[in-house]
Chain A
Amino acid sequence: MTWYLLDTIGASLSVGNLMLIVPLSAAGFLLLAYIAARNLFRLSGDRGEPDGRSHKAGRQVLMLALFAAYILALGHVHFDVATALFVFCLMMLINRDGAVRAAIYAVIVSLVISTTFKVLIPYYPFPMLLDLI
């Protein structure tokens, strides 16, 4: 928030540029200070930490990392290949049973989604390995 405020001030000191962002940032800082003070002194007994869900967090972080890898790979790998890999890995992450079934499912899902979007929206490039075969 501080960085954004400084960047905005750096862009221009005109009223039009600052009239919403400065008061809003000020309110944001006040709220932040209040929340920090409350957590520090445990005014409300709420420390702002996750509630009993930490044991599930590990898998969620892994899933999010996989999702990130999928999106970042899309720019470099073909859409159908990346999607098939993502679907397979995510299925295995959720439940390790049935790798063969997961692989078949991943290929089918990837082909159906990629082809549907490619047909529906021909204006955008959906690079697919299927096109090269």
Chain B
Amino acid sequence: MIDLAAFSLAFSTLVGDFGPWLVILPGLVIGLLGGAIPGLSTSITMAIFLPFALYMDFLSAVLFLTSVFTGGGFGGAIPAILMNVPGTTSAVATTFDGYPMSRSGRHNEALGVALASSCISVLFGYLLMLFLIDGISVLVLKLGPPEMFLIMVWGLTMIAILGSVDTPKALLSGVLGVLISTVGMSTGGHIRGTMGIPQLLDGVSVVPAMIGLLAIPELLKMSASSYIVETKHVQAMSIRKLGRGFMYPFQHPSILFRGSMIGVLIGAVPGVGSSIANLISYAEVKRKAKDPETFGHGNEKGVIAAEAANSSSEAGALTTLLTLGIPGGAGTAILLAAFTMHNITGGPRFVSDNKDIVYTILLGNIAQALLLTPLGFLFIYICSAVVKVKVRFLLPVVMSLIVFGCFSLTGSMDGPYTLLAFSFLGFVLDRFRYSLPAVVIGLLLGRLAEGELLRSYQLTQGRLDLIFTRPITLILMALIAGAILMPLIRSIRSAAARKSTVAEE
């Protein structure tokens, strides 16, 4: 529960001091730009601006970096929606319905939906954290390798749920993705599939591979059009349509709530984070939807689910960092660096001794979510001009930016080479109608899943049946089984109902 004395101190610190507010706005703008530039992910943007944090006091430094984090969380949705370029792993599910919406001329609505979902879920996530900051850290400590493995499996069920026209091909694509992700040195120290290339020892660089698979084939196809959105009258930037899109998530509070909860809980799990949260949230919404066949063709609910989860996961990740001192992903690792620069170590002691500072950070993040709304509107308004730029001018710039971004990610030519290899793979697989999102999901989760499976095996000394004695594992298994079986039962029931209707007629 909230410590009211600490809370009021935090409130007065934030309201009474002008300093933190001076860094929030620039941080959000920097984050939006960093997230929106293909290849230059949020974490890289945070790393670029980390040295600035050295010249700020601790609170301002954390608020500045979390502003970049928050801005980047939404900024990544912009290229994902407008060009099918997921700048970060957390924007993968946003492309599934966001890009089809853009191609059908509903880019304003899609961006509005993404902005509202991001702002509300960030707000929700941090409000929840104000109340549950102690409880979440206890829960996270109870999660061991078997539970982590099952969370990965939950994410992998997404491959079957994606609803590709050709399920065997989608499954094979998923298998291919998982196998590629295991290339390199395994958790057990075995070297596999590197072909003697030392750069592959750490495995395939995921972001360049993901961009090569999803974005490049789509950009190549785009060259046949004159504009991203062909019809002239829908190209216009429309505040009315943006507003309509912005209001749409409010009509589906249950999707927002579910996505935000998934984001907070999975975001709090170290090493898992937003890249899985957005996939699971998308899968869950599709499973429960009455119109699952419209997903992947521009259903707004898919964008809500993905954006709600990836944005709220930031709150979960920050909580783990504050309460346990463990970074959940690259973004929080940069934050940890800022903590270290100010001689501060996160952990239970930090939270209990400095509750006012923790509350100030959480309240500052709530303020960021509120500020992101008007700023996001302005940013979207400028960015959506992209659909008015001729493809002939746009395509070379985007492709060059991607190459530079991939170079920045790895700090060497390994990034661009990975991008190139996966561009070829993506092009071939796309030509033969294999599911590229399924490959990406396998690629994102495979290595993590194998590591957790191996740790579970070692933990139980080869007796994996002992996993069934863990209550959280059983709950997760039941959830996964339900998630897989429920749509199956529902489709059998609806088929039976259709048959009986036909028989009656």
A residues in contact (CB < 8 Å) with B: 1, 4, 7-8, 11-12, 14-17, 19-21, 24-25, 27-28, 31-32, 34-35, 38, 46, 48-51, 53, 56-57, 59-60, 63-64, 67-68, 70-72, 74-75, 79, 83, 86-87, 90-91, 93-95, 105-106, 109-110, 113-114, 117, 120-121, 123-124, 126
- Cβ–Cβ < 8 Å partners of B193 in chain A: 4, 7-8
Say yes or no: A117 contacts B404, CB within 8 Å. yes
CA distance A71 to B419 in the complex (A): 9
Minimum CB–CB distance from A132 to chain B (whole Å) comes to 19
| B457, CB-defined interface residue at 8 Å | yes
- Cβ–Cβ < 8 Å partners of A120 in chain B: 40, 48
A94-B391, A113-B404 given as contacts; is B175 within 8 A of A24 (CB)?
yes
Say yes or no: B454 contacts A74, CB within 8 Å. no
For the residues of A in contact with B, the DSSP-based class is helix
| B169, CB-defined interface residue at 8 Å | yes
| B471, CB-defined interface residue at 8 Å | no
| B140, CB-defined interface residue at 8 Å | no
| B463, CB-defined interface residue at 8 Å | no
CA distance A126 to B168 in the complex (A): 44
Say yes or no: B400 contacts A64, CB within 8 Å. no
Q: What's the tally of chain B residues with a CB closer than 8 Å to chain A?
A: 60
- Cβ–Cβ < 8 Å partners of A17 in chain B: 186, 188, 190, 192
A19-B454, A67-B216 given as contacts; is B449 within 8 A of A86 (CB)?
no
Say yes or no: A67 contacts B423, CB within 8 Å. yes
A16-B458, A94-B223, A124-B411 given as contacts; is B175 within 8 A of A60 (CB)?
no
The one of B171, B408, B423 in contact with A121, judged by C-beta atoms closer than 8 angstroms, is B408
Say yes or no: A24 contacts B404, CB within 8 Å. no
Minimum CB–CB distance from B385 to chain A (whole Å) comes to 17
Say yes or no: A87 contacts B423, CB within 8 Å. no
CA distance A65 to B83 in the complex (A): 21
| B392, CB-defined interface residue at 8 Å | yes
The one of B392, B413, B453 in contact with A20, judged by C-beta atoms closer than 8 angstroms, is B453
| B407, CB-defined interface residue at 8 Å | yes
**What are 19 A-B contacts with C-beta separation under 8 Å?**
A1-B176, A4-B193, A21-B192, A27-B175, A38-B168, A48-B433, A56-B221, A64-B427, A68-B420, A71-B403, A75-B413, A83-B400, A87-B400, A91-B396, A109-B396, A114-B404, A117-B404, A124-B408, A126-B407
Say yes or no: A14 contacts B400, CB within 8 Å. no
Say yes or no: A11 contacts B192, CB within 8 Å. yes
CA distance A72 to B424 in the complex (A): 14
| B191, CB-defined interface residue at 8 Å | yes
